[in-house]
Amino acid sequence: MSRAARLLQLLELLRAQRRPLPGPQLAAQAGISLRTLYRDIATLREQGARIEGDPGVGYVLRPGFTLPPLMFSEEELEALVLGARWVASQSADPVLARAAQGVMNRIGATLPEALRMAVETSGLFVPPRSGPCPTAPWLPALRQAVRAEHAVWLEYLDEAGQTTRRRVWPFAVAFFDQARLMAAWCELRQDFRHFRADRVLDLTDTGERYPERRHLLIRRWSVHMGHARHARTADRS
């Protein structure tokens, strides 16, 4: 977890408490050492957070402290909230859905009152899914592998009904309404391949970084897809 994320998490923990919380208990909830807690509280106080208390007494965040709205316009905030609502309601990844809900809670808790009300009453909503959400229990592991640039072992059911096991380099995930699609470099085929969520039988992170950086893979893949689209257009003409 980055330091900025850790400070935000600490603020959320303090905001949820109405009475002083002992330092050791607060540090345990935040998953940090007591020494780090004291240092983070000092940093937040320097940034204007009204945190009262001392070691041995406990800490409490007094009302009135809000984070700056990061200079977002109402349209930008509405876009953020609408996107988070879509992920929370439409995603097959429960971890990502909980994170999206956390984003909405944090936005609501940190905006000034007038701006918060404007966002919450904007009238922009995401309707519930009309059908079952695509099954993809491997999505959390896949997202972690994409983030860390790790190769994964993939057990996959191909179009012919044959099960194959291959090692791939995942670099992108597409979230369509009725499907989830992974883009990866396949060591077996020595080419880019797309894998459908409903055909993935198992996915295991190897913990090993693949030899090419993700942004370079995405660049090569974009060129590859452009050539493929051009070829299809030429075939139809």
Which DSSP category does 132 fall into? Answer: P
pLDDT of the residue at 157: 92
Q: How many residues does the chain have?
A: 237
Could you tell me if 156 and 164 are in contact, meaning their C-beta atoms sit under 8 angstroms apart?
A: yes
Q: Cβ contacts of residue 2 below 8 Å, gap of 6+?
A: none
Extents of the domains making up the chain:
3-61, 74-120, 139-236
Domain 3-61 top-level CATH class: mainly alpha
**71/123: higher pLDDT:** 123
Is the pLDDT confidence value at 119 over 60? yes
Q: Give 67's pLDDT tier (boundaries 50, 70, 90).
A: low
User: Could you say which of 2.60.120, 1.10.3470, 2.30.30, 3.10.310 is the CATH number of the domain covering 139-236?
Assistant: 2.30.30
Is the pLDDT confidence value at 234 over 60? no
pLDDT of the residue at 137: 74
Question: Whole-model pTM above 0.75?
Answer: no
Q: Tell me which range, 104-113, 132-141, 199-208, is most confidently predicted by mean pLDDT.
A: 199-208
Q: Give 133's pLDDT tier (boundaries 50, 70, 90).
A: low
Concatenated DSSP letters of 62-128: PTT-----TT--HHHHHHHHHHHHHHHHH-S-HHHHHHHHHHHHHHHHHS-HHHHHHHHTS----PP
Average per-residue pLDDT for the chain = 82
Task: Report helix, strand or coil for 43.
Answer: helix
139-236 matches 3-61 in CATH topology: no
What does the pLDDT look like over 149-200, one tens digit per residue?
A: 999 999 999 888 899 999 999 999 887 767 788 999 999 999 999 998 888 9
Q: Tell me which range, 92-106, 186-200, 216-230, is most confidently predicted by mean pLDDT.
A: 186-200
pLDDT of the residue at 135: 58
Measure CA of the first residue to CA of the last residue in the chain; give whole Å.
52
**32/177: higher pLDDT:** 32
Could you tell me if 27 and 41 are in contact, meaning their C-beta atoms sit under 8 angstroms apart?
A: no
